[in-house]
């Protein structure tokens, strides 16, 4: 009896302690909001984010924002979805720009139009701050669902020392696929059958591989997907066939590109160590290359076969659905602050991504930075020919159907034509339920 009474007492104490902890949360005070943020590139970013949020909180006493690190882009999507399901969505999330459409289809995003209107501005004016190339991934059905935060495009990185060694002029980088093939041949070194230095390396791992396929397809005149409608991809097309065939030729025919599928970090390590003389990689790796390359390097536009065109990458700020009004407003204040010219520029210099807000490039800090690092300017200039990142219903599985087939081709197990036909078939299958509800739902 004594025992159970003591237990009851313990339980009662635990209960009162729990309620004591819960009370302060209900009390009046600054609006507390969470910001989920991923770190897609190495190390230092988490600390930079802490600095940024601390500065925000000091300037906004009625809001208390907390930055919550949520892993990679994919992990951030998982955690955001889990939080929405649990009924406790974060107030704002830095979300991979090509997940927005899928989330909107699943009713997981807040339409930002009313928040923009409440500020007394128009959608056009609001979006007008950002580079036009970024708007495609932020606007769905003519409504704004995301605010571009940090973005990238693919670049051609050239080891200038090796180019000079091979008798090539790094100040005139290759502009077409023909020139690039020629450069890659000249930059490949062999000992018998063994290659000691590769001419070029292009990454292919899940996520990166789809982005590189979109890059090559676009420079071959094509489109990866239907930009206006999330139910179609264009895998089995001449432009993508040309892109994949050329990539495969670099591997199998010219033997200037390492065989198999190589992830992004392996490609950048290979370039830094001098094992690959050129690589195609995101502008997001620019800071890493700048800090680690022990040789002169040069960055250039992605060469064209038909036209100059590249996809954007990176992330946007979103407000998940199901948020209370006061937190929504606080999140909106935070988002506007983070994407303002000064903060946008600061983040760009810290990370290597370019700043989506065009006015950031007019700030004095940024002008000075670009004068010191002209390579960062190339990324911004390429934005003129940039287009949206592929985004469909179930973006990741639809992308994976292509990537699995591309990997088979790069491993010499399939021919490009049959691989793309198989990828198209599998992607159509994944997109079927969405089409059944939209394009094939007839009166």
Partner 1 sequence: MSLAEPAALPVAASAPARLHIVTRFSHRFKTSLPAYLLLLPSLVFLALFTYGAMGRVLVDALYQRATPKAPVRFVGLDNIAAVLADSAFTGAVVNNLVYAVGTAIPSIGLALLFALALSRTNAVNSALRAALFLPVLIPMVAASALFLFIFLPNVGLLDYYIGSLLPVLPNWLGDSDIALYAIMVITIWKNAGYYMLFFLAGLQAVPEDVMEAAHLDGAGPYQRLRHIIMPELKPTFLFVTVIAILNAVTQVDHVFVMTKGGPSNATNLVLFYIYQQAVEHYDIGKASAATLLTLAALMGLTALSFRTMANREDGP
Q: Which positions lie near partner 1, rule CB under 8 A? A: 3-4, 7, 74, 77-78, 81, 102, 105-107, 193-195, 198, 204-206, 258-263, 265-266, 269-270, 273, 275, 393-394, 396-397, 400, 403-405, 407-408, 410-411, 413, 430, 433-434, 436-437
Smallest gap from Cβ 7 to partner 1, in A, equals 6
Q: Tell me whether residue 116 or residue 407 sits nearer to partner 1 (CB atom).
A: 407
Pairing mode, strands 386-387 and 310-311 = parallel
- Asked if 320 and 109 count as a contact pair (C-beta separation under 8 A), the reply is yes
Q: Tell me whether residue 1 or residue 325 sits nearer to partner 1 (CB atom).
A: 1
Q: Tell me whether residue 121 or residue 292 sits nearer to partner 1 (CB atom).
A: 292
Q: Tell me whether residue 127 or residue 205 sits nearer to partner 1 (CB atom).
A: 205
Q: Tell me whether residue 54 or residue 413 sits nearer to partner 1 (CB atom).
A: 413
Pairing mode, strands 189-191 and 194-197 = antiparallel
Smallest gap from Cβ 362 to partner 1, in A, equals 40
- Asked if 325 and 198 count as a contact pair (C-beta separation under 8 A), the reply is no
Provide the CA 176 distance to its chain's centre, in angstroms. 25
- Asked if 212 and 403 count as a contact pair (C-beta separation under 8 A), the reply is no
Q: Tell me whether residue 342 or residue 404 sits nearer to partner 1 (CB atom).
A: 404
Q: How far apart are CA 156 and CA 191, in angstroms?
A: 26
Pairing mode, strands 386-387 and 139-140 = unpaired
Smallest gap from Cβ 265 to partner 1, in A, equals 8
Half-sphere CA count of 1, side-chain side, radius 13 A = 0
Smallest gap from Cβ 131 to partner 1, in A, equals 29
Structure tokens at 40: 């897609």
Q: How far apart are CA 383 and CA 312, in angstroms?
A: 8
Smallest gap from Cβ 139 to partner 1, in A, equals 20
Question: Using N-to-C axis directions, what is the helix angle for 208-219 and 395-410, rounded to 10°?
Answer: 80
Smallest gap from Cβ 293 to partner 1, in A, equals 14
Smallest gap from Cβ 386 to partner 1, in A, equals 26
Q: Tell me whether residue 71 or residue 341 sits nearer to partner 1 (CB atom).
A: 71
- Asked if 401 and 427 count as a contact pair (C-beta separation under 8 A), the reply is yes
């Amino acid at each position: 009896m004594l025992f159970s009474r003591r237990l009851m007492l313990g339980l009662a104490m635990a209960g009162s302690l729990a309620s004591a902890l819960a009370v302060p949360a209900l009390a009046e005070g600054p609006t507390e909001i969470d910001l989920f943020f991923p770190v897609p590139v190495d190390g230092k970013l988490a600390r930079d984010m802490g600095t940024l949020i601390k500065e925000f909180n000091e300037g906004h006493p009625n809001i208390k924002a907390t930055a919550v690190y949520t892993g990679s882009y994919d992990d951030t999507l998982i955690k955001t979805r889990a939080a929405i399901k649990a009924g406790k969505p974060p107030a704002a999330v830095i979300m991979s720009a090509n997940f927005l459409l899928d989330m909107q289809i699943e009713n997981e995003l807040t339409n930002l139009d009313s928040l923009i209107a409440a500020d007394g501005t128009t959608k056009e004016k609001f979006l007008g701050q950002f580079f036009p190339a970024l708007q495609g991934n932020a606007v769905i059905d003519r409504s704004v669902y995301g605010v571009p935060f940090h973005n990238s495009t693919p670049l051609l990185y050239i080891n200038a020392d090796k180019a000079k060694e091979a008798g090539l002029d790094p100040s005139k980088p290759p502009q077409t696929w023909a020139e690039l093939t020629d450069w890659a041949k000249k930059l490949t070194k062999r000992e018998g059958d063994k290659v000691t230095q590769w001419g070029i390396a292009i990454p292919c791992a899940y996520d990166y591989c789809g982005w590189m396929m979109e890059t090559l397809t676009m420079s071959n005149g094509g489109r990866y997907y239907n930009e206006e409608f999330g139910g179609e991809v264009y895998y089995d097309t001449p432009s993508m066939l040309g892109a994949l065939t050329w990539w495969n030729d670099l591997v199998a025919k010219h033997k200037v590109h390492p065989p198999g599928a190589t992830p992004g970090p392996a490609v950048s390590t290979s370039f830094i160590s001098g094992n690959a003389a050129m690589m195609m990689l995101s502008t997001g790796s620019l800071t890493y290359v700048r800090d680690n390359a022990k040789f002169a390097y040069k960055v250039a536009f992605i060469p064209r076969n038909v036209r100059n065109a590249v996809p954007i990458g990176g992330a946007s700020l979103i407000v998940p659905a199901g948020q209370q009004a006061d937190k929504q407003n606080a999140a909106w204040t935070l988002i506007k602050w983070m994407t303002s010219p000064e903060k946008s520029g600061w983040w760009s210099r810290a990370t290597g991504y370019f700043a989506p807000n065009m006015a950031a490039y007019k700030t004095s800090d940024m002008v000075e930075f670009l004068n010191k690092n002209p390579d960062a300017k190339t990324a911004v200039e390429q934005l003129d020919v940039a287009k949206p990142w592929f985004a469909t219903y179930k973006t990741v599985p639809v992308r994976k159907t292509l990537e699995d087939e591309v990997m088979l081709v790069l491993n010499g197990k399939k021919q490009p034509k049959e691989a793309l036909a198989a990828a198209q078939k599998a992607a159509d299958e994944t997109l079927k339920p969405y089409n059944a509800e939209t394009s094939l739902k007839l009166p």
